[in-house]
Chain A
Amino acid sequence: AQSVTQLDSQVPVFEEAPVELRCNYSSSVSVYLFWYVQYPNQGLQLLLKYLSGSTLVKGINGFEAEFNKSQTSFHLRKPSVHISDTAEYFCAVSAGGFGNEKLTFGTGTRLTIIP
């Protein structure tokens, strides 16, 4: 079974400052990793995903994440945030490959951008 830990429930950041949202996972098998974003009163939207290959993954809206197998982490970063990045961010993990369709989600990090 897999599990995900998002240590920070809330992260306030000034506009145009960099941000890092932390995600650690636990799994005994190879994994797929995802970051989803949820804007107020909306469903979840995929930001980026790691399936295999390069450990640095680029997503939409200028976000990127780095898969670190030795530290079992998949932290999300953005060099300069905007007001429009205010949202809740969820990290998720699944066992890789066919027949492992379920995702396990973290508890979320609420990102608040301060003007």
Chain B
Amino acid sequence: DVKVTQSSRYLVKRTGEKVFLECVQDMDHENMFWYRQDPGLGLRLIYFSYDVKMKEKGDIPEGYSVSREKKERFSLILESASTNQTSMYLCASSSIAGGRNEQYFGPGTRLTVT
């Protein structure tokens, strides 16, 4: 089974802090994704990576950056956390094999910025 793990289930940070959210997948997937989930808005794509050191902006990249130094690990960085970044963050991965686009999700990190 594909396993996607996220470093924390719950995180509380103060405004202005630098925040790192880590995601690791164990299935050698090429693609990795970061989403934020807010009530009534569904999932919105923040950033997408299709290879090591390669990244592409999603729909809402402002205030975020990402890092992918190894194939299995994709980090989301909040350079200076703000209260409007309080949200559930979900990481996902997918394989390009077969062109099927099915994504596998981690359990999520609920981030609160105070």
Contact = CB atoms under 8 A, between A and B. Distances in A.
A103 B101 contact: yes
Contacts of A45: 105
A100 B103 CA distance: 12
Interface residues of B, number: 27
A90 B42 contact: yes
Interface centre among A41, A44, A94, A100 (most CB of B within 10 A): A44
28 contacts: A9-B40, A32-B100, A34-B102, A41-B108, A43-B4, A44-B43, A44-B90, A44-B92, A44-B105, A45-B105, A46-B102, A49-B100, A96-B99, A96-B101, A98-B99, A100-B99, A100-B101, A101-B31, A101-B48, A101-B50, A101-B94, A101-B96, A102-B45, A102-B48, A103-B103, A105-B42, A105-B44, A107-B41
Given A9-B40, A101-B101, 11 more contacts: A34-B102, A43-B107, A44-B90, A44-B105, A96-B101, A97-B99, A98-B99, A100-B101, A102-B45, A105-B42, A105-B43
Interface of B: 4, 31, 33, 35, 40-45, 48, 50, 58, 90, 92, 94, 96, 99-108
